Structure 1
Amino acid sequence: MNKFWIMLTHTYMNRLKSKSFLITTGVTLLLVIGLANFQTIAEKFTGSEGGDSQEVAVIGDKHSLIEPLQNQLDMQKASVDLAAFDGSKQEAEQAVQDGEYQAFVELTAENEIPSATFYANQIANTTLSNKIRDALQQLKVMIAADQADIDPAVFQQISSPVHFDTIALEENAKTEEELSEARGLVYVMLFVMYFAVLMYGNMIAMEVATEKSSRVMEILISSASPVAQMFAKIIGVALLGLTQLTLFMVVGFQAVKMNQDVMTGGIFEYFGLDDLKVSLFIYLIVFFILGYLLYATLAAMLGSLVSRLEDAQQLIAPMTLVIVAAFMIAMFGLNAPDSGFVTVTSFIPFFTPMLMFLRVGMLDLPFWEVGLSIGILILTILIMAIIGARIYSGGVLMYGKSSSLKDIKAAIQLSKKE
């Protein structure tokens, strides 16, 4: 048992001190801090909070259109100031190039219906042009309605969106508002689960392949059983992942706490991050741990079959495709969580961590369904651990080019000879 803890600690510390882990963790922490301050950063760049308005020159039929167009921009709270430009088009172009204006607009009116051409140094950023286009569209609608002698109140009633509510008849079904919040939250958490399982699973396979390529495995198998080695790596990388995720959550929580006044709406309200439910968070941890154990066992088993890092990626490609397939089905299920296809596939062990978590977040499921899926998943992990241990025992003794799943049979035969 003492050897097991030594190998576990070695795996944990070796990966903890690696440059790839430190760089990945540092970049992700910067991303977490950036997302927590997303609205503040966006406002700084767009100038929507205390910043200067964007000044746009106007030529053409500016005298009759500039004032009502500016009124529309003000009603939309767009930080755009229109300025009448008395020079020629060439002079307006030069003024924009010299930085006097952000852009200039050439307004024309045919039968009093406005149209415009927008000029700027670069048109890749459509934020400014879209603001002016939307304001001009509203102005055009108002002028057209006035020409048709339509009462403004009647026109407003016609153009207003239809009132349409959706009500679930089942007593425990989620409301449309709850579904919208859950959809965004599940979307974010599925991404976290997908990348984490993929990254840590690959890390285990690479760890085993690295030791075999350096012939360290020959020393290890003489001092400890291959099964102990396999589970030491799985648990060691699991603790590494737990350390990393804990660090992300602590930094993220502090960043959220510092910006809680700003984060009461916007992107955080859209993704449902301003109303986290404890039960959903518990389900996330349960399915994340079980999903990790399932794929980590599979990754360690496949990693033991190769003795070169170049072969490791090729051999774990099927596992990667299964994870990608589960993620794609989950993306489909965000809009149809109660479909028969999603329901059936949520009980397939390799899809369960993502799909059952999706259904738990989006639907009000009976506990027996969730319990059954977790039971099947745990049973599958135990079976995979038994089979994986046998394959691992033989696989670590195999050297040479191994890039086919057919080598599993050879590994099992080798394990019987021990």
Structure 2
Amino acid sequence: MNRFGIMLGHAYMSKLKSKSFIITTVIMLIGVLILGNMNRIIDLFSGGDTKDKIAVIDESSTVFDPLQQQLKSINKDIQLIKVDKSEADLQKAVNNKKYKAYLIISLDQSQLPKAVYKAPTLTNTELSGQLAQALQTVKASMAAAQLNLSADKLALLNSPVAFKEVSLENNAKSAEELAQARGLVYILLFAIYFSVIFYASMVGMEIATEKASRVMEILISSASPTQQMFAKIIGGALLGLTQMAFLLAVAYFTIKQNLGEMEGGFFEFFGFSDIKASTIIYAIVFFLLGYLLFATLAAFLGSLVSRIEDAQQMMMPMTFIVMIGFFIAMSGLNNPSAGFVTVTSYIPFFTPMIMFLRVGMLDLPLWVGLSGVAVLIISIIIMAIIGARIYRGGVLMYGKSNSLKNIKKALQLSKNE
């Protein structure tokens, strides 16, 4: 047990101090800080003036004022400036960054407004879309005036239809709650997906590297292969938890300091305004269990090869399995109660992501989430027993060995050990 503790500590500390881990963690932390302070960064680069100035040529002489009034209710940061210049002068002004774009407003045969929007590029679809929306409202008002419709009748005509969604199941989430849960689960699914692939592959690559450099021969003489295998797996798990703790801590404090600027819009829709503790707990549990399952698989796959080049090829099927589970989870975001989602959530290699999708978006009984945990624990135990036997024989195999047929040979060597 003392040897195992020494190997575990070495496996954890050596990776914790490695340049790759430090650089990766720093890059992720910078990414979290940038996302959390995105509004401030935009203001910084815009020089404190966030208004989009649009020059307007109003050939109708009647549309500009109601359009400006209507646009204030849509986006206060868009500033319309009425000008009396030629298009050539406006093009020069736009190219000199004085205006974002310019708008030419005129009346059609029905005496209703139409417009031409001109800008250096048409990539800012949000800006042009908001201008079109405001102009559409002005057009509706002018059309109503031609038809002698009162303001009340126009408001009634434009009012959205009452359409309410009600679930027949008890304690089911509302449409708003599902939208919030969907965004949060979406982000956490990406975290589980990349973490499992990164840390599990790291274990397999490390074992292949030790075999290629003949370090494995020294390690076998000092400790059993089984102890080495589980020390590397658990060390990787601790490393993943350490990195997640850093990221969650930075994300928490960033969101806390910028909470006022994150209310509404994107952040409200994607579930940052109300994060349930149970969702975070499930994410950590399924991340750990998913990692242990795939790291065990990666460990014995890495032990079957003697060259680093062969390790990537050997672990390619494992990567495909993780990708399939991730794609199933993504396709189930819009319908997490679908039959194929329920069935695949109990397939061990898919459970970490798909069961997390279900418990994160649906109000399921506690036993459903625990059943997924139980499936993973049983699968990990079976995989650990089989993997340990393959690993004991695999570390003794050298030469070109990049085929899964070598599993049988590794099992035979483990019996003779």
- Scaled by the length of structure 1, the TM-score of the pair is 0.93
Deviations 1:265-308, CA, capped at 9 Å, x for gaps: 33332222222222222222222211111111011111111222
Q: 1:278 to 1:98 in 2, by over 3 A?
A: closer
Q: Structure 2 counterpart of 1:309, which letter? A: I
Q: Residue 394 of structure 1: CA displacement?
A: 1.2
1:75 is matched with which residue?
A: 73
Once the 2 structures are TM-superposed, how far is the Cα of residue 184 of structure 1 from its aligned partner?
1.9
Matches for 1:103-182 after TM superposition, within 5 Å = 103-111=101-109, 112-182=111-181
In the alignment, which residue of structure 2 is the partner of 1:101? 99
Q: Which deviates the most, 270-279 or 235-244?
A: 270-279
Residues 198 and 323, structure 1, Cα contact 8 Å, conserved in 2: yes
Q: Assess, with a 3 A threshold, how the Cα gap between structure 1 residues 52 and 124 changes in structure 2: closer, same or farther.
A: closer
The answer for the alignment partner of 1:388 in structure 2 is 387
Kept after mapping to 2: 8 A contact 1:217/1:396: yes
- Structure 2 distance, partners of 1:52, 1:171, is 47
- For 1:177 and 1:60, locate their aligned partners in 2 and report how far apart those are by CA, in whole Å: 41
2:280 is matched with which residue?
Answer: 281
Q: Name 2:188's counterpart in structure 1.
A: 189
Equivalent residue runs for 1:189-268 within 5 Å: 189-268=188-267
Paired residue type of 1:7: M
Shift of 1:45: 5.5
Deviation at 1:243, TM superposition (A): 1.1
CA contact (8 A) 2:183 2:270 kept: yes
Q: Rate the CA distance shift 1:221–1:81 in 2: closer, same or farther, 3 A.
A: same
Counterpart amino acid of 1:33?
L
Q: CA deviation at 1:123?
A: 2.6
1:28 is matched with 28
Deviations 1:151-191, CA, capped at 9 Å, x for gaps: 33222222221111122222222222322222222122111
Shift of 1:35: 2.1
Deviations 1:336-356 (A, max 9, x none): 111111111111111111111
User: Which shows bigger deviation, 180-189 or 226-235?
Assistant: 180-189
Task: Give the aligned length.
Answer: 416
Of residues 58-67 and 160-169 in structure 1, the stretch that sits farther from structure 2 once superposed is 58-67
Partner of 2:86: 88
Structure 2 gaps of 5+ residues are none
1:62-82 Cα deviation digits (max 9, x unpaired):
623222221221222332222
The alpha-carbon distance between structure 1 residues 225 and 293, as it changes in their structure 2 partners (threshold 3 A), is same
Q: Is the partner of 1:64 in helix, strand or coil?
A: coil
* Cα displacement (A) at 1:244: 0.7
Q: What is the percentage of aligned positions where both structures have the same residue?
A: 54
Deviations 1:30-84 (A, max 9, x none): 111122223443455578xx73522222235162322222122122233222223
Q: Which amino acid aligns with 2:361?
A: M
Alignment partners' CA distance in 1, 2:59 and 2:104: 8
In the alignment, what sits opposite 1:409? 408
CA–CA separation in structure 1 for the residues paired with 2:80 and 2:369 = 59
TM superposition shift of 1:119:
2.0
- Name the CA distance, whole Å, in 1 between partners of 2:41 and 2:165: 36
- Tell me which amino acid in the other structure corresponds to 1:273: F
Q: Look up the match of 1:8.
A: 8
The answer to whether the 8 A contact 1:78-1:131 is kept is no
Q: RMSD of the TM alignment (CA)? A: 2.0
Q: Distance in 2 between matches of 1:301 and 1:178?
A: 43
Please tell me whether the aligned partners of residues 188 and 271 of structure 1 are also in contact (alpha carbons under 8 angstroms).
Answer: no
391-400 vs 133-142, greater mean Cα deviation: 133-142
| 1:197 maps to amino acid | V
Cα distance change, pair 265–196 in 1 and its aligned pair in 2 (3 A):
same
Q: 1:233 Cα deviation (Å)?
A: 0.4
Residue identity opposite 2:41 in structure 1:
I
Query: Secondary structure of 1:154's partner?
Result: helix
1:193 Cα deviation after fit: 1.0
Distance 2:171 2:54 in 1: 54
Cα separation, 1, equivalents of 2:314 and 2:152:
68
**Secondary structure of 2:326's match?**
helix
2:197 is aligned with what amino acid? Answer: L
Per the alignment, residue 41 of structure 2 pairs with 41
